[in-house]
Amino acid sequence: MSAQIATASPVAHAALLGLGVYRPRRVVPNAEIVDRINSSDEWIRTRSGIEARHWADDDETIVGMSAAAARDALAAAGITADQIDAVILATSSQMVLGPSAGAVVATELGMHDTAAFDVSAGCAGFCYALANGANLVRAGQARHVLVIGVERLSDLLDQDDRTCAFIFADGAGAVVVGASDVEGIGPVAWGSDGSQTAAIKQDKDFKTYFAEVAAAEATGGTTERPYIRMNGAAVFRWAVTFLEKACRDALDQAGVGVEDLDAFVPHQANGRITDALVRTLHMPENIAVARDIAEAGNTSAASIPMAMEQLLRSGASKPGDTALLLGFGAGLAYAGQVVTLPPIA
């Protein structure tokens, strides 16, 4: 006789219940890096919109920044760590293959026997993790899910690389996802294009690097460690030609028009990409557009929660507003969804 397998009790809707961020203490203005890359403050501002960025000190780790952002998200949601059933952490800069950073963060927060895992989807990572967290709640697999985006990209930067050294930065953002009477997280529009891998990537794998180190030791030579590299022109072309469809798919799936939005929170990749998307989507002038890149730089998986927090903290947006999120980057991968903005601590 076949056994009847029980199923979890689903809920109708999921929403963002609280948001928290961590911004590293050290602020690095353009003036601090221009000499090494033979550039100028004006060139960096014009090309990217970046005026400064935060780089983490040694004690500001992936786990530590994540835990700090998570504590604020829990406080904003009005729940405690023991009410979290799963932790999903998105990052591309965890410098070990295991254990997952999510599991260590869960323990750091005092959780016990809590499901936890990491997501690697580049700058789209937060939106990928958010989609999975919302689906866990809707499926009845979790009461609350802690979703984190965090990066220490300064660890992967060649600070003499004119194409990357001024762009990437560090930070963390976290949200609590839970059940709701009304839908607060729309269906995800997502995808990837592995043919564009060369646009943003680590320039050598660790097997190659270790072989080079062994050869250098044997011959008395030198080798260079792996770094993140980017073809900015290729990323820009892909973004401005492809991401309009991603945005419209997210809006259509949520049953929302551009005119219904209160805010637009794209990944903080480049100010010119944001401007191009705003024009292409014909966004009304009253829509608040996140431009956290000016002070935070490009924090990859952390950029969307950090940009949401900046809009809320500045008063440009308020909890309850309708926002379109759009993450995109290494992979190349993208993901976006319409959300109701949460409270902050």
**Pairing between strand 86-90 and 144-152?**
parallel
Residue tagged active-site, from 127, 132, 164, 267: 267
Judge whether 298 counts as a catalytic residue: yes
Residue tagged active-site, from 123, 127, 164, 247: 123
Whole-angstrom distance, CA of residue 102 vs CA of residue 74: 16
**The residue type at 205:** D
Residue tagged active-site, from 30, 132, 270, 298: 298
Judge whether 127 counts as a catalytic residue: no
Judge whether 38 counts as a catalytic residue: no
**The residue type at 2:** S
| Catalytic sites, residue numbers | 123, 267, 298
